[in-house]
Each structure stands twice: as C-alpha cells, then as structure tokens.
C-alpha cells in the first residue's frame, strides 16, 4: 500500500509527500487501517492530525460501516473523506467509452463514423483541414482497460478528437434509446460535458497521461540501466511540475 500525505507547511504552502510503501497481508479495511496507524506513528504523526482522506471507490475503502474511511472517521471525525478525483475521471471515461460510444451497438458505431466523416469533409471544403497522405485517418473511441493507464490516455485522446461526434451520439441515446436507464445516463453525461470542470480535467489528464504513458513505454524497453531510468523519471517529474 502506497501512502501519500498532503499538508500545509510553515509558510502556508500546500505540499505533498510520499511517505512510504507498506506491505499488507490482505486488503481488508482493518489491515489497511492498522498499517496506516503504524506508518504514521513511525513518522511521529497521529491519525488525530488528519483532516482529510482520499481513495478510490472500492467497497473496502469507502464502505459506510466497515470501510477504511469509516474506521478512520471513528477515531477522528475531522478526517473528511473525498473520492479520488483522478479515479472519478476514469469512471466517467469508462462510462462514455463502454456504454455510450463503443458498445456493441453497430448503429452507434456507424453514427460516430459518419458524423466524423461529415465533419472532416466540411472542414476540408472550408479550408480548415488539410489533405494528404496519412491525414484524416478514421478514428474510433479506444476502449479503456480498468487497470492500464495507457488505455486511458488513448481513450482521452480519441474522445478529444471525436468530441462533437460523441455528443451527437449521446443526444441520440438520450432521445431514441429503448433502455430508459441508458437515456438517463446519456442525459447525465451530456450535462457533465457542459461543465468547465470536465473540460479542465479532460485536458489536464490528457497532458498528465501523455507524460506518464511515454515514461511507462521507455521504462519497459530492454537495455535500460538504472541511471537512464532515474533520469527519465526525474525528467517526467519536472514536466509534471511545470503543469502546476
């Protein structure tokens, strides 16, 4: 289990510090709670000092009665729980990619393809798009894998490229889909798409994942020595810091 703390230093600046990786025998909430208590104690910190806690949406983490969130709140009611923002964005992307844009529906896939084709043709006629070898290739929404960051990067990039077409398909689902739950889901996603925070998160995560995806690919290459790997990691950290 990796543990990171965010705190305010003596100058009032917000800091984040990775304080350690702890081996846990299982992922039960009680095991995780004890590991966190022990790690904080080893750093001369206390769970009583915590004012916030954030994890993904797994039941062992956010469970109302026996989750890690609940166990910490029993010791410290001031440790307010916040669902991890990055994980929330992942869930939004998964909903879009799996349920509304790249599902098994051939009709939706054809609609996405035809809308994209019509937009490219219009842009070429109006001089807003260039033609040539390798340009204007057919694009589809990449299917995101729940545990692979690289797949999320591809999904975000393809969603940015196909955003107008995705909106058109969602509008179709909102009105004409036979399943009422899918109509409700489409309406909710369309509403979220209009918010500034969605646009901000989408572009920010696109930038972040482009750096981490490139680093991941480099680190998986054969023949990388430790010094080169360390330089790549430091370079990526510097690029991410520049986004702040």
Residue-wise pLDDT tens digits, 71-114: 889 888 988 887 765 565 556 555 554 544 444 455 556 666 66
Give the mean pLDDT of the chain.
76
- Rounded CA-CA distance 79/34 in Å is 16
Regarding predicted confidence, which is higher, 220 or 86?
220
Most confident of 18-27, 59-68, 151-160, 192-201: 18-27
pLDDT number for residue 96? 52
Q: What is the DSSP string of the chain?
A: -EEEEEEE-TTS-EEEEEEEE---S---HHHHHHHHHHHHHHTT--GGG--EEEE-S-HHHH-TTTSHHHHHHHH-TT-EEEE-HHHHHHHHHHHIIIIIISSS-HHHHHHHHHHHHHHHHHHHHTTSS--STT-S----PPPPPTT-HHHHHHHHHHHHHTHHHHHHHHHHHHHH-S-HHHHHHHHHHHHHHTSHHHHHHHHHHHHHHHHHHHHHHHHTSTT--HHHHHHHHHHHHHHHHTT-
pLDDT band at residue 34 under the 50/70/90 scheme: very high
Check whether 125 has a pLDDT greater than 70. Answer: no
pLDDT number for residue 102? 43
pLDDT number for residue 167? 80
| 119-129: average pLDDT | 63
pLDDT number for residue 141? 55
Check whether 182 has a pLDDT greater than 70. Answer: yes
Look up the pTM and report it.
0.43
């Amino acid at each position: 289990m990796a543990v990171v703390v965010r705190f305010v230093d003596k100058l009032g600046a917000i800091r984040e510090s990775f304080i350690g990786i702890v081996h846990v025998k299982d992922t039960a909430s009680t095991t995780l709670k004890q590991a966190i208590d022990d790690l904080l104690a080893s750093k001369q910190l206390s769970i009583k000092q915590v004012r916030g806690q954030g994890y993904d949406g797994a039941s062992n983490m956010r469970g109302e009665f026996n989750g890690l969130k609940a166990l910490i709140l029993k010791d410290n009611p001031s440790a307010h729980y916040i669902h991890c923002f990055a994980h929330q964005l992942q869930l939004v992307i998964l909903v879009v990619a799996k349920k509304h844009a790249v599902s098994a529906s051939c009709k939706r896939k054809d609609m996405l393809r035809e809308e994209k084709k019509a937009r490219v043709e219009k842009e070429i006629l109006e001089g807003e798009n260039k033609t040539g070898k390798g340009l204007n290739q057919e694009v589809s929404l990449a299917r995101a894998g729940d545990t692979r960051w690289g797949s999320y990067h591809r999904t975000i990039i393809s969603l940015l490229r196909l955003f107008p077409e995705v909106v058109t398909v969602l509008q179709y689902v909102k009105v004409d889909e036979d399943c009422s739950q899918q109509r409700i889901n489409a309406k909710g996603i369309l509403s979220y798409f209009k918010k500034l925070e969605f646009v901000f998160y989408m572009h920010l995560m696109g930038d972040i994942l482009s750096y981490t995806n490139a680093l991941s690919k480099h680190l998986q290459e054969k023949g990388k020595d430790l010094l080169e790997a360390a330089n790549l990691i430091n370079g990526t950290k510097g690029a991410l810091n520049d986004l702040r």
